[in-house]
């Protein structure tokens, strides 16, 4: 058999490794800042771009797409080359991929801080960046498939299956969820509205967790764990079941983010059933990982890399057990909208993604720099500080979530709500403080790692092109031919062929997506319309866009669930038909502040005026930041016609030609609010943003009150 000589590209691996460290630090610092802001409103610094609502998306996007994203690419570029026994397909594509991804991250940070957001969690980036992401992702895909096709290893190891499934599913999710209609160079409206938007968003959001934070990292686990433990995976059969069952089931589970909401009931139930079934493959994967260490647990005692891996895999197991539990409606009734969700995602982010990334960095950097790790002891210290950090982060958040949910639901003997919303917030502030201490510890561990890796890199020199050799695939063809006649042949038809694997993965994930999404779009009865629900006025629409820009949805939900306490606290529960003109929906996923679905008409304009300027003046003890710039900024009326036209295109029934009339109506409504405020001795500047925001807040959830009440005749018919 003729042996070919070739070189692995380690430079690109190094670049992604350094990028994951850099963005990890940035993302975690942003996380720490918002953790402190929650109990110290002064830490918002009174500036638009340092306020919670804008920094929080920077934190989530930086951690998911910059830290884990670069970590994923580091793992893929290292393992794929070796599993394929081939250099990456094209060095230029590798470079475009790397620098393109970093450009996306920088653009994302700048635009998010500037307030350009689509208002959909984890998909906040605006349309030009969405297009750039798609292009760079395709470059990554070509580079990956090119490498697989020119490989010198006949079999595709299971890690590569996970990479392929990741690529195709993220492509599908990104394209479907990013359907938006631009009305300016940096702003757009979601193509979908209300319930449909919510379903697509959480189909995306859940599967972003599944296919960006989980499947690529499972692929990485299946490669690096055997390497670090120096033994093969416990059961390859189990890994195959893990793969297919996981990708097939995950895609259905999105609606568990929308339990008890206005989403049709059948879609909620479907989400619950598939979420519970997910335990099986997830735990199959976790056990497969942990059993790989059978007979090697003595190594775990000494090796910090294995320590990180064991905790990472255990955290994977814990969060994938907890996820299905949280999908059970009765559990979800307690946990949803509380800090429990925050604890849950951080077990995954800090434990699974964070620790697996650190273990790989400790394993990989010394190898590509051809030198031992500078200090094993520092790595062990990092492990312990990080672990204590995770515990100090998550336990207070579980506690806070459970406590707050119980307080929300508490009634007095007289049948009234026992606690004001604000009391349930101030009660859990000690937990918020403890959580930020956990965050500080975790981040300190990362700084120890930065130092350790810096010293390692200094001591060694990069093996940019690592020599390797393997026989060409053609010379192995003869061997394959003889296998054609044995019973394995038909399995190979999928297993060893990347394009088949791609198509099969696409079919597996598309079935779930189609069956889940299509009925909600096609069937009228799923979204009963309410005649009283009308489009927003131009001023309200502008106000809504300010609400989105400031990230209000990150702390305030707009979804009253049909529970006694929520109806008593907020008002009538939300109906699907109320949101048909909401591009995008703003249901939110967390109540750091109270729900706003029925805030319209609840307080006078003057209350909102004072509250947005100095929240503590109206609600002593409130943790909300002030929004003083809204009192100076003028509404951008130049864009109003374009906004109205975009809404008309999306099917919102404004009259034809209304775009030209819109600003006159806007000015008139603003003047009315301004005059009303003046009567209460409050001076609002003409056409200032605060007027638009007040108009929007006073409108939210009020249409349904104007709906005609059913008559006796109608009820008896």
Q: Which residues bind other proteins (CB under 8 A)?
A: 79, 82-83, 85, 153, 155, 157-159, 191-193, 196, 222-223, 226-227, 230-233, 236-237, 240-241, 244-245, 248-249, 252, 264, 266, 269-270, 273-274, 277, 468, 486-488, 491, 508, 511-512, 515-516, 519, 521-527, 580, 649-651
Residue whose CB is less far from other proteins, 237 or 564: 237
Residue whose CB is less far from other proteins, 473 or 673: 473
Least separation in angstroms between residue 230's CB and other proteins is 7
Taking the C-alpha atoms of residue 225 and residue 360, their distance in angstroms, rounded to an integer, is 9
What does the block give as tokens for 444?
């300190």
Least separation in angstroms between residue 180's CB and other proteins is 12
Cβ atoms of 94 and 12 closer than 8 Å = yes
Residue whose CB is less far from other proteins, 525 or 717: 525
Least separation in angstroms between residue 378's CB and other proteins is 27
Least separation in angstroms between residue 232's CB and other proteins is 4
Taking the C-alpha atoms of residue 69 and residue 411, their distance in angstroms, rounded to an integer, is 46
Residue whose CB is less far from other proteins, 190 or 619: 190
Residue whose CB is less far from other proteins, 464 or 618: 464
3-class SS of residue 581: coil
What does the block give as tokens for 83?
């599993």
For the chain, how long is the longest CA-to-CA vector? 92
Taking the C-alpha atoms of residue 507 and residue 513, their distance in angstroms, rounded to an integer, is 10
Residue whose CB is less far from other proteins, 328 or 494: 494
Which phi and psi (to 5°) does residue 122 adopt? 65, 0
Least separation in angstroms between residue 649's CB and other proteins is 6
Cβ atoms of 202 and 255 closer than 8 Å = yes
Least separation in angstroms between residue 29's CB and other proteins is 35
Cβ atoms of 555 and 38 closer than 8 Å = no
Residue whose CB is less far from other proteins, 199 or 365: 199
Calculate the CA dihedral of residues 233, 325, 250, 59 and round it to 10 degrees. -90
Residue whose CB is less far from other proteins, 110 or 488: 488
Least separation in angstroms between residue 714's CB and other proteins is 22
Q: How many residues does the chain have?
A: 717
Least separation in angstroms between residue 247's CB and other proteins is 11
Torsion sign across C-alpha atoms 210, 214, 216, 222? negative
Which phi and psi (to 5°) does residue 467 adopt? -70, 145
Q: Is the peptide bond before 402 cis (omega within 30 degrees of 0)?
A: no
Query: Strands (DSSP E) along 165-311, which ranges?
Result: 180-182, 188-190
Residue whose CB is less far from other proteins, 233 or 342: 233
Query: Strands (DSSP E) along 653-712, which ranges?
Result: none
Least separation in angstroms between residue 240's CB and other proteins is 5
Cβ atoms of 245 and 203 closer than 8 Å = no
């Amino acid at each position: 058999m003729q042996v070919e000589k070739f070189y692995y590209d380690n430079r690109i691996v190094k670049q992604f490794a350094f990028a994951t460290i850099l963005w990890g630090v940035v993302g975690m610092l942003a996380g720490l800042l918002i953790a402190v802001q929650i109990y110290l409103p002064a830490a918002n610094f009174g500036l638009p771009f340092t306020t919670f609502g804008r920094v929080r998306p920077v934190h989530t996007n930086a951690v998911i797409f910059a830290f884990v994203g670069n970590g994923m690419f580091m793992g893929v570029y290292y393992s794929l080359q070796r599993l394929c026994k081939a250099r990456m397909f094209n060095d230029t594509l590798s470079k475009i991929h790397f620098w393109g991804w970093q450009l996306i991250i920088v653009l994302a940070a700048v635009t998010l801080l500037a307030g350009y957001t689509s208002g959909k969690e984890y998909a906040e980036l605006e349309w030009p960046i969405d297009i750039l992401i798609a292009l760079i992702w395709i470059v990554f895909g070509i580079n990956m498939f090119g490498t697989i096709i020119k490989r010198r290893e006949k079999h595709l190891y299971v890690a590569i299956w996970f990479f392929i499934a990741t690529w195709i599913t993220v492509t599908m999710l990104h394209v479907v969820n990013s359907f938006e209609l631009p009305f300016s160079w940096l702003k757009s409206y979601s193509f979908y509205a209300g319930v449909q938007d919510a379903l697509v968003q959480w189909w995306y959001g859940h599967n972003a967790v599944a296919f960006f934070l989980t499947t690529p990292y499972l692929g990485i686990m299946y490669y690096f764990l055997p390497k670090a433990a120096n033994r093969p995976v416990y059961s390859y059969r189990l890994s195959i079941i893990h793969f297919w069952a996981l990708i097939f089931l995950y895609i259905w589970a999105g609606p568990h983010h929308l339990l008890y909401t206005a989403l049709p009931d059948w879609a909620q139930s479907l989400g619950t059933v598939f979420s519970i079934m997910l335990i099986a493959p997830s735990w199959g994967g976790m056990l497969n990982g942990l059993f790989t260490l059978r007979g090697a647990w003595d190594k775990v005692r000494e090796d910090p890399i294995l320590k990180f891996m064991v905790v990472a895999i255990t955290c994977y197991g814990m969060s994938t057990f907890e996820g299905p539990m949280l999908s059970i409606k009765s559990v979800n009734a307690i946990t949803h909208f509380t800090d429990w969700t925050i604890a849950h995602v951080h077990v995954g982010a800090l434990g699974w993604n964070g620790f697996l990334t650190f273990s790989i960095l400790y394993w990989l950097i010394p190898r590509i720099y051809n030198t031992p790790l500078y200090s094993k002891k520092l790595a062990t210290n990092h492990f312990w500080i990080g672990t204590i950090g995770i515990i100090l982060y998550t336990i207070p958040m579980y506690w806070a979530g459970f406590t707050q949910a119980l307080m929300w639901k508490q009634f007095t003997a007289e049948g009234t709500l026992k606690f004001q919303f604000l009391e349930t917030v101030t009660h859990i502030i000690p937990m918020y403080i403890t959580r930020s201490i956990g965050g500080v510890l975790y981040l300190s561990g990362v700084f120890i790692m930065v130092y350790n890796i810096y010293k390692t890199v200094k001591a060694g020199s990069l093996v940019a092109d690592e020599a390797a050799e393997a026989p060409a695939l053609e010379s192995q063809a003869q061997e394959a031919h003889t296998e054609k006649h044995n019973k394995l042949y038909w399995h190979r038809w999928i297993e060893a062929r990347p394009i088949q694997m791609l198509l099969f993965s696409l079919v597996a994930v598309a079935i779930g997506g189609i069956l889940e999404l299509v009925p909600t779009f096609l069937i009228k009865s799923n979204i009963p319309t309410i005649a009283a629900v009308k489009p927003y006025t131009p001023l309200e629409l502008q106000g809504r866009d300010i609400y989105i820009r400031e990230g209000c949805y990150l702390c305030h939900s707009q979804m009253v669930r049909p529970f006694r306490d929520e109806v008593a606290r907020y008002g009538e529960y939300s109906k699907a038909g109320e949101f048909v003109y909401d591009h995008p929906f703003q249901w939110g996923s967390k109540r750091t502040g109270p729900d706003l679905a029925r805030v319209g008409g609840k307080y006078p304009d003057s209350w909102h005026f004072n509250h947005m300027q100095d929240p503590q003046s109206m609600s002593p003890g409130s943790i909300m930041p002030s929004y003083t710039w809204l009192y100076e900024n003028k509404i951008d009326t130049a864009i109003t016609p374009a906004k109205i036209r975009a809404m008309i295109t999306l099917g919102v029934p404004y009259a034809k030609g209304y775009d030209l009339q819109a600003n006159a109506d806007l000015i008139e409504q603003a003047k009315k609010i301004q005059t009303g405020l003046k009567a209460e001795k409050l001076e609002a500047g003409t056409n200032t943003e605060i007027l638009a925001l007040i108009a929007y807040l006073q409108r939210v959830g009020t249409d349904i009150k104007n709906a005609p009440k059913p008559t006796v005749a109608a009820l008896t018919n």
